[in-house]
């Protein structure tokens, strides 16, 4: 029992260390984009300047990872209390063929009515997926049946629109909460540097991401 407690404490310590911030001036990950929201209106990321944005990629037919991620995102907004109006959760579909605005609106309503759902043409969605280095792989089983494997990190964007933190899938919701709280209470108008927290190899920001990525098995 005591050995298990020591192992658990060590794992938590390592997880905390992995999220120590590093800095990147030339990262190409992230940036502004234009898509269509769940109300069929054009949406640009820059509309959310002044707010912390928690961005998540997925699709409505996803059986487990996406519902779990959206549930955690909804819980995060609830936990923020009075600060919730300073944070916006955004869900971008990787399956625009099926996820039209009305479908997204109904789906997100099960989690939090304040979430923003985004879709668009396949070309426009693919461009945003590439901007954020999201790994996507379509698995076709028949003409009318397919799933989409995808990486499931959370992208935390600061009040100036810069990508601040990438939280790999599987890290506890409490950590996402602490990252957002840090941005809310320590925001400074920085001129050049971009703060990135990621795993030890910073997989989303270098060649290791192309080789290993953070694509979970059967993330569909």
How does pLDDT run across 128-145, given as a tens digit for each residue?
Answer: 999 999 998 888 888 778
Query: Which residue do the tokens 């407690």 mark?
Result: 5
Q: H helices within the chain, ranges in order? A: 2-18, 65-79, 101-109, 122-131, 173-186, 207-211
The residue ranges of every structural domain in the chain are 29-211
Give the mean pLDDT of the chain. 78
Provide the whole-model pTM: 0.74
Of 56, 54, 79, 73, nearest in space to 156 by CA: 54
Query: In sequence order, what are the residues at sequence separation of 6 or more whose Cβ sits closer than 8 angstroms to the Cβ of residue 105?
Result: 38, 39, 117
- pLDDT tens per residue, range 6-52: 444 434 433 433 333 333 333 678 899 999 999 999 999 999 999 99
CA distance 57 to 11: 27
Superfamily of 29-211 according to CATH? Glutaredoxin (3.40.30.10)
Could you tell me if 129 and 94 are in contact, meaning their C-beta atoms sit under 8 angstroms apart?
yes
């Amino acid at each position: 029992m005591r050995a298990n407690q020591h192992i658990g404490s060590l794992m938590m310590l390592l997880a905390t260390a992995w999220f120590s911030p590093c800095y990147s001036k030339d990262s190409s990950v992230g940036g502004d984009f234009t898509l269509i929201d769940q109300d069929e209106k054009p949406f640009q990321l820059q509309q959310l300047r002044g707010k912390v944005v928690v961005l998540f990629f997925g699709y409505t037919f996803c059986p487990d990872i996406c519902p779990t991620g959206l549930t955690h995102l909804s819980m995060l907004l609830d936990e923020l209390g009075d600060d919730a109006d300073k944070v916006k959760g955004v869900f971008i579909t990787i399956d625009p063929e099926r996820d039209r605005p009305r479908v997204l609106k109904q789906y997100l309503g099960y989690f939090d009515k304040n979430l923003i759902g985004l879709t668009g043409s396949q070309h426009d969605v693919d461009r945003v997926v590439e901007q954020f280095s999201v790994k996507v792989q379509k698995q076709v089983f028949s003409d009318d049946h397919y799933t989409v494997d995808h990486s499931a990190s959370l992208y935390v964007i600061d009040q100036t629109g810069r990508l601040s933190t990438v939280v790999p899938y599987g890290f506890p919701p409490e950590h996402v909460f602490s990252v957002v709280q840090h941005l809310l209470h320590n925001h400074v108008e920085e001129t050049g540097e971009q703060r990135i927290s990621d795993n030890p190899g910073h997989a989303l920001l270098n060649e290791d991401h192309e080789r290993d990525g953070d694509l979970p098995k059967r993330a569909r």
